[in-house]
Amino acid sequence: MTAAHDDAAHDDAGSLFARLTGREPDGFWSAPGRVNLIGEHTDYNDGFVLPFAIPQRTVAAVGLRDDDRVRVASTFAEEPVEVDLDDLDRLFPTPAGAHPAVPEWAAYPLGVAWAMRQAATESGPFGGFDLTIASDVPVGAGLSSSAAIEGATASALNDLWNTGFDGTHLARIGRRAENEAVGAPTGIMDQMASMLGQPDTAIFLDCRSLDAELVPLAVAETGLAMLVIDTRVKHAHSTGGYRERRASCELGASLLGVPALRDVTVDDLPRAQGLMDDVTFRRVRHIVTENQRVLDTVRVLRERGVRAIGDFLVASHASMRDDFEISTPELDTAVDTALAAGALGARMTGGGFGGAAIALVEASDVASVSEAVRDSFAAHGFVEPLLFAVLPSAGPRRDA
C-alpha cells in the first residue's frame, strides 16, 4: 500500500471478505479512478482523450472456490449477490434500455467475469470465486468509480483464471461489461485510463485505434496542483441524458456521411450547420472542437508545459456548458469561482449532469481556492463540495 486511503479500502475489503466467507482471500487487487484532463464525450465518437489515473482506488479481495458459484459483495451494498458461473450467460447482456437483472453495483464485477469468459473461450478452467469490494473513489462524481471496479475485478480474475490478457484487452473487457452488462453506453476512455495509468503522466489515447502514448505532465515539479471539486451532485451514465447525447452524435455523423465524428474537422462545421437542426449541430460542434482541443493540449504540453494549457480547459468547459449542455449550476459555480480565485484553468470532468470539476492551481493556492469554492457554494445554497488535490498515479496492481 502506498497511502492511508489504500490501507483503509484494503482493510475494509478484507474484513468484508472474512465476514462473507470465514477465511482469508487469495489476494488483493486494486485499480484507480481517473480524472479526464480534457476530451469529454469524444471517446465514443472514435476521438481523442487525455485522462490520467488518480490515487483514489477500488480494492477487490478475491478468493477462488471449489465450486462454480460466484458471490460478490461491496461495502456500499447491504446484501451480497450470488449466482452460478453459467448463469452469467443468462443474465447478460442486458437488453438496451433495461435495468440489469442484478443490482447495478453487482453488474460491474459480474459483467467483467461474464465478458472475460466470453473473451477467453480457449482458456480456463473458470472456477467460482468470492469477491468483495471497497473503494475510496467517490461514486457518481465523474471520477470513474465504475472503471476502478472493473479494473480491480479484471486484474484479479486475469491472475486467478490465468487468462493472460494485457492492459488494453482488460480495458476492452471492462468496457463490454459497462456497455452490455450494466447498460451504460460509455466509450473506452475510463477503462484505458485506469488500466494504463502511470505516475506523473497523462494518457493520450486515440479511441479508434486504441494507440496510447504517455505524455509527461510534471504538475508537482512545476509547482502546481490539480484540485478536484466534487459537487456531490450524483450522476449515472446509464440514465437518459448520456444516451441522448450519444444518439445526437450518431445522428450528426450519419447526416455528414462519416463513420464517426472523429472524421469531421473544424473546417467542416459550416457544412454541418446546414445539414442538421440546431441542437444536433451544437452537439456535433462540441465533439469536433473538443477533439481539436485535445490535440492542441498535447502539443502545448510538449512545447511549453502544463502551465500553458489553462485556456484549453476553460474553452472545453464553455463548450460542454453551452453546446453539449451537460454542465450544472454547481459545476459552473465551481469552475467560475476557481478561475476568479486564481486557477490557471478549470473545467468539469467526466460525463456531466453532476459530478466533479477540476482546477489547475498553484500548489500554494490550494487552500485559498478551496475556501473560495466552499464559500461560493454556501452562498448559492448548494451542498458543501468535497475538495482534494490529486496527482497522476499508477494503474492496477496486486497489493497482496
Q: Looking at residues 108-113, what average pLDDT do you find?
A: 98
pLDDT (mean) for 18-39: 97
DSSP states of 139-188: TTSSS-HHHHHHHHHHHHHHHHTT----HHHHHHHHHHIIIIII-----S
Q: pTM for the whole thing? A: 0.91
Residue range 168-180, pLDDT digits in tens: 999 999 999 999 9
Residue 237: band (very low, low, confident or very high) from pLDDT cuts 50, 70, 90 = low
Q: Is the pLDDT of residue 383 over 60?
A: yes
Which pLDDT belongs to residue 1?
36
Whether 4 has a pLDDT exceeding 70, the answer reads no
Question: Which residues, in sequence order, are bridge partners of residue 230?
Answer: 356, 386
- pLDDT tens-digit readout, 39-82: 999 999 999 999 999 999 999 999 999 999 999 999 999 999 99
Nearest Cα neighbor of 359 from 344, 377, 371, 340 is 344
Q: How far apart are CA 32 and CA 152, in angstroms?
A: 8
- What's the confidence (pLDDT) of residue 235? 66
What positions carry a catalytic annotation?
Answer: 190
Measured from the Cβ of residue 169, the count of other Cβ atoms closer than 10 Å reads 18
Residue 247 to residue 97: CA distance in whole angstroms:
13
- What is the distance between the alpha carbons of residues 111 and 108, in angstroms, rounded to a whole number? 5
The string of DSSP letters for 32-54 reads EEEEEEE--S-GGGT-EEEEEEE
> Coil, strand, or helix at residue 59?
strand
Q: Which set of grid coordinates corresponds to residue 277?
A: 437542426
Q: How large is the angle between the packed helices 104-119 and 145-160, nearest 10 degrees?
A: 40
242-259 mean pLDDT: 96
pLDDT given for residue 122 in this prediction: 65
Dist. CA 181–CA 176, nearest whole Å: 7
State the cell numbers at 281.
Answer: 449541430
- Comparison of pLDDT for 122 and 322, the residue scoring more: 322
Q: What is the pLDDT of residue 239?
A: 58
Predicted confidence (pLDDT) per residue in 168-224, tens digit: 999 999 999 999 999 988 889 999 999 999 999 999 999 999 999 999 999 999 999
Run of H or E including 280? helix 278-303
pLDDT score of 2: 41
Alpha-carbon distance 327 to 319, whole Å?
10
Q: Cα torsion at 217, 218, 224, 230 (round to 10°)?
A: 40
pLDDT score of 84 more than 70: yes
